[in-house]
Structure 1
């Protein structure tokens, strides 16, 4: 999952990004609103962590702009302890939740997962797809009740297809979800991960749509 972290405190941003990276999130850091707008115009994000006190403008403008465009991406506001009105304004503008600084990274991750469940309509971390059972919290995957070992990247790809069942995902979109903007991506790495998923979970788990990308059928 690709996250945009908008935070002008560079040390805090880098520490948060490292922690999220260890939890298998892909993180881009924007330290100004201008950088955030650039990233949002260039990439599709599944989630945004947004500090409102940016040096060039109020981060609330970013949130309001997203919601005016009917962008339903999950947004958590990062706020200071004494900024009650800031939290209220963020929620009124369409934020899904807020976290008070200094925050515990595990709490941030738990809140991200809770928001994503609400957005997708899921009420549990347990997902059953045909003969495949997935526990998003523990990263456990079962095929016909037998555990299947997936690498973090393979699990990330499986989760991406689950969240987008019935929709074609382009190779470019998958790469954007996997790697930060400055990463060097080899030409066939996505095909390798797709091949591994099919080998481990069944050849029909993901279908190739020629010239468009890949799809997990909605009724799989």
Structure 2
């Protein structure tokens, strides 16, 4: 999942970014609202982690603008404001969860997984496709009961594909997910990672729909 972190405190931002990235999520870290709004306008995120006190404005106002514009991206507020009235205001503004600083990074990870499950078209923590078993929140996959190791980028591609099995995921959507890991994207990058996944989980699990993208499911021709 690609996550937008909006946090102006360097130490907190670094800790959250590094921990979330270590869980195989891609993280874009913005320190001001203006940059966060620009990012949301150009990238589709799976989740926003939002501080409330930012140098160029209020995180609550930013969240309200998101919801007013129709943006339904899940949001977890991360803030030092611990009053009940603050929690109520944040949730009423459209937040999906509210976590008070200082917080345990393990708890943050669990809350990210919980919010993702609520929004996922397939909320089950374990997905089974024939001999393949995928635990998305723990980033674990077995094929014929044997554990398969995937890189963070391979997970990013697979996660998009298994979110809605059988549905086509556009190539540019996959490119967006891969861009977040920082390296330059070549014209054949998506094909490279799809090929790697096929070698690890089975060629017939990912089909190519020419001119459109890729879908997770049994091969139905047009590979």
Report the TM-score, using the length of structure 1 for normalisation. Answer: 0.88
Partner of 2:186: 186
Q: Deviations over 1:141-176 (max 9, x none)?
A: 122333333333223321221113343222222122
Q: 1:79 matched to which residue of 2?
A: 79
Distance 1:72 1:197, change over 3 A: same
Whole-angstrom CA distance in 1 between matches of 2:147 and 2:28: 33
Q: What residue in structure 2 maps to residue 69 of structure 1?
A: 69
Could you tell me which runs of 5 or more consecutive residues in structure 2 were left unpaired when the two chains were aligned.
none
Q: Report if the CA contact (8 A) 1:198-1:204 is conserved.
A: yes
State the number of aligned residues.
220
Q: Structure 1 residues 60, 181: CA separation in 2 closer, same or farther (over 3 Å shift)?
A: farther
Residue 167 (structure 1) aligns with: 167
SS at match of 1:94: coil
Gaps of 5+ in 1: none
Cα gap change, 1:173 to 1:121, in 2 (>3 Å): closer
Instruction: After TM superposition, give the deviation of residue 123 of structure 1 in Å.
Output: 5.2
Please give the secondary structure, in 2, of the residue aligned with 1:204. Answer: helix
The answer to whether the Cα contact below 8 Å between 2:63 and 2:95 also exists between their aligned partners in 1 is yes
Q: Is contact 2:160-2:169 (8 Å) kept?
A: no
SS of 1:198's partner is: helix
Distance change >3 Å, CA 186–CA 120, structure 1 → 2: same
Q: Distance in 2 between matches of 1:208 and 1:37?
A: 34
Shifted more, 200-209 versus 20-29: the winner is 200-209
- Give the superposition deviation at 1:139: 2.6
* Alpha-carbon distance in structure 1 between the residues aligned to 2:91 and 2:163: 24
Greater mean deviation of Cα atoms: 35-44 or 145-154: 145-154
Q: Is the 8 A contact 1:77 1:87 kept in 2?
A: no
Q: Deviations over 1:179-200 (max 9, x none)?
A: 3386422332221110121222
Q: Do structure 1's residue 131 and structure 2's residue 123 form an aligned pair?
A: no
Give the 5 Å matches for 1:10-159. 10-120=10-120, 122=122, 124-159=124-159
Distance in 2 (alpha carbons) for counterparts of 1:133 and 1:175:
25
**Are the aligned partners of 1:209 and 1:215 in contact in 2 as well (CA < 8 Å)?**
yes
Contact 2:52–2:77 at 8 Å: present in 1 too? yes
Cα displacement (A) at 1:212: 1.9
SS at match of 2:70: coil
- Counterpart of 2:48 in 1: which secondary structure? strand
Contact 1:197 1:205 in 2 (8 A): no
> SS state of the match for residue 57, structure 2?
coil
The answer (yes or no) to whether the contact 2:122–2:164 under 8 Å persists in 1 is no
